[in-house]
């Protein structure tokens, strides 16, 4: 049976070209900024209410060293917490999938823990973990482990009895099943949870900084608010948005590299 | 000659709530080394249960006996002893064609590099040369099935269980795959038990055809297929083939009717209640 392979090795369903998408997005962003700038200038909006983007960018440029440090600190806290959340979430998801009793005993408490707003015990976490990186990473962890745990469990549950049976006829044991079948099957759902967790981790780090810190984007936002520095506040908002987008984009990039396949129906 | 595999009085009933549903009843079957035996029967006759028992995935009811090379074996010892190919190809979307093909061998403990080398050497035989780096999502149904078959062949076992491997393929692809399977089998000389719904397929491929009864399944008829090998595609219009088909159709029809009647008993409301 002679069949010739098609010319390209492209994975079906992959985005046609990311470069073009990026260009489109940049054009849209430019348009928004331009409209904003013109609106502020032509309508004579008071800079106390809404500064022009040019003024915000100028503020960022002036304070670039301090602001870059703030972004770095917050990103570090968020990523640290997120990594811990991914690790703990994945491990608990695996444990739940193996032991139903454990799932029944512990998962409801996981759910309950997420129903308590983090604000409620932010102060306690600062008291326990100090006002350094650890407390913020802790909050980021607390917010991000839950979706990862749930999606790991859900992803592993999607493996059919037939698939497990087939691998067992090849001689697979529990670990082989986990490593070669269940975890890879769950990987796309785990990544979906990480996308969600990345945003939550950033929120967690900033909220943590509000409760007690001397560095980070949360501090930038809080100080600007108290000192009524509107341009600085907008600079903080813009940078927080960019940091969140960058973190999200990184996760999407990794997902496309590592878990690019589509779940089989 | 000692049969490669022999089943004696194999039964299996599943307990659902308080009711016991018999799936297999007193199945007797034996395959000699190198045999290609096909198994036909109505839907739901317990063929898949039989395969799961042979693959070592479920245990038969006590009382039945299972011999491999004349040696009595407990059912759970069959796990890992036969190369099993289920109806769905179950290829892993994250593995390439080559790595899907070596999966069974890899789990069996063959080092990856060695397994890949072996797999590369059989790409031509399975019509997959040039596709080794592709992923299953990029392949047609026929090619996916060949990858699954390659995985089964590379899992080096004397006995192969194929559960309707061509069931989902269109008629032309299926005919091509049947001829191709015979070529591969004649080169590898494995003992094959092949489940199918298709009587033409059962005759064309098999040395013997086993007809299973409606549920609870047992072997109702066995028919030898004295057609010479290698078999050419036009054998299916020859008079010995047509004669065999007539006999088999009668046997299968009979069982299908029973299975259908049993099904309707469950589905249709009791006329007394209307």
Highest mean pLDDT among A115-124, B62-71, B129-138: B129-138
What residues of chain B lie within 8 A of the CB of A263, using their CB? 93
Rg of the Cα trace of chain B? 20
A106 backbone dihedrals φ, ψ, rounded to 5°: -100, -40
Instruction: For chain A, report the end-to-end CA distance as a whole number of angstroms.
Output: 28
Note the pLDDT tens digit of each residue in A138-168.
999 999 999 999 999 999 999 999 999 999 9
Note the pLDDT tens digit of each residue in B183-201.
889 888 899 999 998 999 9
The verdict on residue A45 lying in a domain is no
- From CA B192, how far away is CA B188, in angstroms rounded? 11
A114 touches chain B (CB under 8 A): no
Instruction: Point out the residue among A176, A187, A259 whose CB comes nearest to the CB of B107.
Output: A176
Provide mean pLDDT across the span A20-29: 86
A226 touches chain B (CB under 8 A): no
Residue A136's pLDDT is 96
Q: C-alpha distances in angstroms, A101 versus A58, A105, A186?
A: 58, 6, 21
The verdict on residue A46 lying in a domain is no
The verdict on residue A156 lying in a domain is yes
Q: How far is B83 from chain A (nearest CA, A)?
A: 7
The verdict on residue A230 lying in a domain is yes
Domain boundaries, chain B: 5-81+158-273, 89-156
Cβ <8 Å between B57 and A11: no
Choice among A63-67, A213-217, B14-18 with the minimum mean pLDDT: B14-18
User: What interface predicted TM-score (ipTM) does this complex get?
Assistant: 0.87
Q: How confident is the model at residue A213 (pLDDT cuts 50, 70, 90)?
A: confident
- From CA B52, how far away is CA B66, in angstroms rounded? 13
CATH code (residue A253): 1.10.3720.10
pLDDT greater than 60 at residue A1: no
Cβ <8 Å between A170 and B107: yes
pLDDT greater than 50 at residue A8: no
Mutate to test the interface with A, among B54, B92, B159 (most CBs of A within 10 A): B92
- pTM given for the model: 0.84
Q: In terms of residue numbers, what domain contains A155?
A: 69-258
Q: How confident is the model at residue B74 (pLDDT cuts 50, 70, 90)?
A: confident
Domain B5-81+158-273, CATH class in plain words: alpha beta
A256 touches chain B (CB under 8 A): no
Q: What's the total number of domains in chain A?
A: 1
Nearest by Cα to B89 from B141, B135, B148, B48: B148
Q: How far is B55 from chain A (nearest CA, A)?
A: 6
pLDDT greater than 60 at residue B6: yes
Note the pLDDT tens digit of each residue in B217-258.
889 889 999 999 889 888 989 999 999 999 999 888 887 787
- Chain A stretch 179-218, residues whose beta carbon is closer than 8 A to a beta carbon of chain B: 180-181, 184, 187
The verdict on residue A37 lying in a domain is no
A8 touches chain B (CB under 8 A): no
């Amino acid at each position: 049976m002679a069949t010739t392979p098609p010319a390209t090795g492209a994975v079906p369903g992959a985005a046609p070209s990311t470069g073009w998408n990026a260009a489109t997005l940049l054009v849209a962003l430019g348009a928004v900024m331009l409209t904003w700038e013109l609106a502020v200038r032509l309508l004579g909006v008071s800079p106390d209410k809404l500064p022009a983007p040019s003024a915000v960018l100028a503020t960022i440029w002036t304070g670039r060293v301090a602001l870059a440090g703030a972004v770095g600190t917050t990103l570090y806290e968020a990523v640290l917490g997120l990594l811990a959340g991914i690790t703990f979430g994945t491990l608990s998801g695996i444990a739940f999938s193996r032991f139903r009793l454990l799932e029944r005993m512990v998962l409801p408490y996981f759910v309950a823990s997420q129903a308590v707003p983090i604000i409620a015990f932010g102060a306690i976490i600062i008291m326990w973990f100090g006002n350094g990186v650890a407390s913020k990473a802790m909050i980021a962890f607390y917010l991000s482990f839950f979706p990862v745990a749930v999606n790991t469990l859900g992803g592993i549950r999607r493996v059919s009895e037939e698939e497990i049976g087939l691998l067992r006829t090849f001689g697979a044991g529990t670990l082989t099943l986990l490593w070669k079948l269940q975890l890879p099957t769950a990987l796309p759902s785990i990544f979906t949870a990480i996308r969600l967790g990345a945003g939550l981790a950033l929120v967690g780090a900033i909220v943590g900084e509000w409760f007690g810190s001397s560095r980070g984007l949360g501090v930038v936002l809080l100080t600007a608010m108290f000192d009524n520095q509107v341009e600085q506040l907008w600079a903080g908002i813009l940078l927080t948005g960019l940091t969140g987008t960058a973190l999200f984009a990184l996760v999407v990039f990794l997902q496309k590299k590592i878990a690019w396949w589509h779940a089989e129906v | 000659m000692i049969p490669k595999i022999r089943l004696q009085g194999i039964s299996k009933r599943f307990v659902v709530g308080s009711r016991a549903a018999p799936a297999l009843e007193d199945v007797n079957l034996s395959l000699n080394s190198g045999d290609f035996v096909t198994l036909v029967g109505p839907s739901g006759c317990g063929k898949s249960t039989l395969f799961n028992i042979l693959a070592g995935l479920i245990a038969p009811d006590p009382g039945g006996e299972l011999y491999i090379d004349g040696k009595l074996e407990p059912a759970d010892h069959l796990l890992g002893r036969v190369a099993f190919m289920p109806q769905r190809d179950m290829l892993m979307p994250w593995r390439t064609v080559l790595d899907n093909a070596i999966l069974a061998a890899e789990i069996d403990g063959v080092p990856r590099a060695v397994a890949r080398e072996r797999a590369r050497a059989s790409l031509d035989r399975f019509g997959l040369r040039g596709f080794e780096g592709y992923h299953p999502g990029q392949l047609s149904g026929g090619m996916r099935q060949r990858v699954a078959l390659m995985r089964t062949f590379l899992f080096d076992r004397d006995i192969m269980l194929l559960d309707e491997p061509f069931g989902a393929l269109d008629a032309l692809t299926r005919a091509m795959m049947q001829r191709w399977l015979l070529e591969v089998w004649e080169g590898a000389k494995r003992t094959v038990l092949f489940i199918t719904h298709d009587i033409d397929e059962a005759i064309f491929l098999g040395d013997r055809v086993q007809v299973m009864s409606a549920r609870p399944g047992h072997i109702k008829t066995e028919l030898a297929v004295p057609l010479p090998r290698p078999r050419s595609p036009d054998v299916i219009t020859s008079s010995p083939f047509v004669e065999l088909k007539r006999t088999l159709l009668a046997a299968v029809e009979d069982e299908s009717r029973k299975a259908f009647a049993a099904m309707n008993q469950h589905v249709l409301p009791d006329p007394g209640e209307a």
